[in-house]
């Protein structure tokens, strides 16, 4: 096993403005052996997520900066190859933070470092999407911040994505009107036709703020009670202007501004005028909800009631390009990298 090669992607420089291929480097490292308490995992899927863009910067943010010259961090699912921890056996399917690499050696005794995946009811890759961090993110922001009530209108941006698609379906299950925003006619058709949203606005079809607002107004005739925001910028401006009194905005992501200067919020006075509550969150700080959320999400996926789509890039070498595509919205549903 010591002769085995572990292909990895390292971060080697920080972006100035847009992230680019040159920020990443493919490295072939020798693979070590697990020590006592450690587990060697063969990663099968790597999750690519917008939050990774923030970690590429060296700025104060909720996520610690990704160190230069090290393996990019990231969520993975895979199988145990060798174990020196009594809870894990070779062949076990596991979820963890294996990073952008083919193999990971994990300290299995560290709380939350690994959890087992039951692949008899739920596909392995779903543990990185609807039954993983994105799913719980959707659940937390919707249930705990947007506080949806039957008959209310919930708007979610990046509606075809890993998080947004779950938000809308959970909102529908709670008797709400679910309205999405997505980039392109194909994504919108999927959001309505497959995911069951009531409406979806193609933000790419609107050149200016006025036109986008008009389209959103048509899709939300009774205004908006809860907004789950993944994108920010003009999309958030439009939604803010549609909020009903006492509405709730869960700020989950602002991907439109990740690659450059912050994008101002045009009408912050609406938060006061409409007596809104705006709350930013990251799901890893709310571990107390994970069991309840994963129970609902797992059951919905296992019974086919929660639908999702994946875009899968092939091979660790493809990870940087797939990640840059994610930042541009080129993925459709959950962006994964297959590491077979």
Interface residue list for its own copies (CB under 8 A): 54, 60-62, 232, 236, 245, 251-254, 257, 262-269, 271-282, 285
Nearer to its own copies, 279 or 321 (CB): 279
Considering the complex, what minimum distance in angstroms separates the CB of residue 328 from its own copies? 18
Given the DSSP bridges, would you call strands 5-11 and 93-96 parallel, antiparallel or unpaired? unpaired
The rounded distance, in Å, linking the Cα atoms of 179 and 335 is 22
Considering the complex, what minimum distance in angstroms separates the CB of residue 252 from its own copies? 7
Nearer to its own copies, 20 or 269 (CB): 269
Contact predicate 161/331, CB 8 Å: yes
The rounded distance, in Å, linking the Cα atoms of 18 and 323 is 12
Nearer to its own copies, 281 or 332 (CB): 281
Considering the complex, what minimum distance in angstroms separates the CB of residue 85 from its own copies? 33
The rounded distance, in Å, linking the Cα atoms of 94 and 141 is 26
The rounded distance, in Å, linking the Cα atoms of 93 and 116 is 6
Considering the complex, what minimum distance in angstroms separates the CB of residue 74 from its own copies? 20
Nearer to its own copies, 282 or 294 (CB): 282
Length of the chain: 340
Considering the complex, what minimum distance in angstroms separates the CB of residue 170 from its own copies? 21
Q: What SS3 state is found at 337?
A: strand
Cα 152 to Cα 194, 221, 246, 309: the distances in Å are 21, 11, 12, 26
Q: Which two tokens stand for residue 174?
A: 């709670």
Nearer to its own copies, 96 or 141 (CB): 141
Nearer to its own copies, 155 or 192 (CB): 155
Considering the complex, what minimum distance in angstroms separates the CB of residue 267 from its own copies? 5
Contact predicate 77/94, CB 8 Å: yes
């Amino acid at each position: 096993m010591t002769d085995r090669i572990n292909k990895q992607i390292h971060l080697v420089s920080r972006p100035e403005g847009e992230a680019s291929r040159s920020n990443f480097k493919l490295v072939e490292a020798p693979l070590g052996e697990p020590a006592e308490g450690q587990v060697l995992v063969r990663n099968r899927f790597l999750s690519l997520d917008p939050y990774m863009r923030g970690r590429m910067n060296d700025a104060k943010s909720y996520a610690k900066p990704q160190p230069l010259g090290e393996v990019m961090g990231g969520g993975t699912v895979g199988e145990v190859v060798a174990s020196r921890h009594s809870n894990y056996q070779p062949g076990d399917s596991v979820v963890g933070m294996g990073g952008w690499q083919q193999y990971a050696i994990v300290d299995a005794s560290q709380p939350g470092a690994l959890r087992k995946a039951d692949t008899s009811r739920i596909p392995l890759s779903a543990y990185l999407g609807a039954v993983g961090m994105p799913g719980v993110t959707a659940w937390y922001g919707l249930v705990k911040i947007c506080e949806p009530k039957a008959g209310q209108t919930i708007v979610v941006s990046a509606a075809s994505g890993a998080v947004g698609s779950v938000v809308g379906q959970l909102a529908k299950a709670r008797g709400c009107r679910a309205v999405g925003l997505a980039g392109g006619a194909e994504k919108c058709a999927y959001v309505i036709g497959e995911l069951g949203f009531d409406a979806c606005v193609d933000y790419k079809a609107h050149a200016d703020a006025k036109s986008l607002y008009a389209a959103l107004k048509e899709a939300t005739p009774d205004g908006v009670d809860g907004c789950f925001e993944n994108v920010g910028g003009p999309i958030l401006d439009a939604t803010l202007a549609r909020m009903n009194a006492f509405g709730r905005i869960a700020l989950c992501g602002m991907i439109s501004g990740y690659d450059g200067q912050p994008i101002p919020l045009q009408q912050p006075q609406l938060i006061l005028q409409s007596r809104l509550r705006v709350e930013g969150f990251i799901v890893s700080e709310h571990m107390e909800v994970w069991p309840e959320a994963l129970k609902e999400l797992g059951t919905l996926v296992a019974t086919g009631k929660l639908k999702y789509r994946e875009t899968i890039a092939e091979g660790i070498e493809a990870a940087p390009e797939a990640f840059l595509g994610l930042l541009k919205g080129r993925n459709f549903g959950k962006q994964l990298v297959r590491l077979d």
